[in-house]
Amino acid sequence: MGEAATRAAEAIGYAGAGTIEFIVDGSDGLRPDGFWFMEMNTRLQVEHPVTELITGVDLVEWQLRVASGEPLPATQDQLTITGHAFEARLYAEDVPAGFLPATGTLAHLVFPDSARVETGVRQGDTISPWYDPMIAKLVTHGPTRAIALRALETALVDTEVAGSVTNVDFLIALTRHPGFNRGEVDTGLIGRDLDALVAAAEPDPRARALAVIGLAGLDDPQIRGGVTLWQPLRRTIAWDGGQAVPEVLGPGAARVTLDGTSHDIRHTGGRWWVDGGPRQSRIVNHAAGTSVFGGRTVTLTPLDPLDRGGDEIGGG
């Protein structure tokens, strides 16, 4: 395919950045005569960081040099490919609803240092319905495909976004998909396994219990909120969509009753423990509520106690 793309560009005397796209028939295995031309995009692609990482070439710089009348800094036979790279597009979109675009104000936005991140937004910006809802691209590189993929999984887990629905949990689930891990990828993979991928992205009750701790203001590692004057040891916390009862048991210990089930919460050894198991969780309070990051993201939006409908009372 690389040779065919090069011949196509030479045949039309093309100069500048561009991408030739092919479609492959893999029904009987991959064959040299089993792919066909689809289209050519005469511009930089969204995926161009993948090419840059495996070739060590700055395509943007090259594009500017060619546009300025300079020759390409290297010839085709001088290019080499080293390692593997992955790119994930972080979108403001509702995956269970059919990948519908979402909107919102980014109340909290933190990217990991472990990946190359390309973004045009920052914390406090608004994702509107008038533009593409892509928040960022996360790109990782490694000497092998497996290493690059695990680096991408880690980077996605360490990404923190609040204020809009995103596809980050779906992307994490995809990096853990057995077929995707083996490189068995085709155009029907997501369609076939969408239910499993969405289910794998569903937040678990333990993460929600930690979010309740944050919403109650008990996310101090010592959980001292329950022994303050006028502050009850046990109270009900409500949010948009549910309620729970957190109870302070002592320094660094609490219990959360959620959906009829009690969860023991402790903070020890620099991490949160829920029901006796350690969590790679980070509780963050922000303008849109409380979020738990470090796996499957959970965000709870508190109810305003003064925001109550009074139509019935007013009418009486």
Just list the catalytic residues.
43
Render the chain in DSSP notation, one character per residue: -HHHHHHHHHHTT--SS-EEEEEE--TT---TTSEEEEEEE-S--TTHHHHHHHH---HHHHHHHHHTTPPPSS-GGG----SEEEEEEEE-EETTTTSEE--EE-SEEE--TTSEEEES--TT-EE-TTS--EEEEEEEEESSHHHHHHHHHHHHHT-EEESS--SHHHHHHHHT-HHHHHT---TTHHHHHHHHHHHHTSPPHHHHHHHHHHHTT--STT--GGGSTT--SB--EEETTEEEEEEEEETTEEEEEETTEEEEEEEETTEEEETTEEE--EEEEETTEEEEESSS-EEEPBPPTT----HHHHH-
Structure tokens that stand for 134 in this block: 């892509």
Encoded amino acid at 310, one letter = G
List beta partners, residue 91: 134
Exposed, middle or buried, 271 (CB in 10 Å: 0-12/13-18/19+)? middle
Other beta carbons less than 10 A from residue 103's beta carbon: 14
Closest CA to 164 of 305, 302, 301: 301
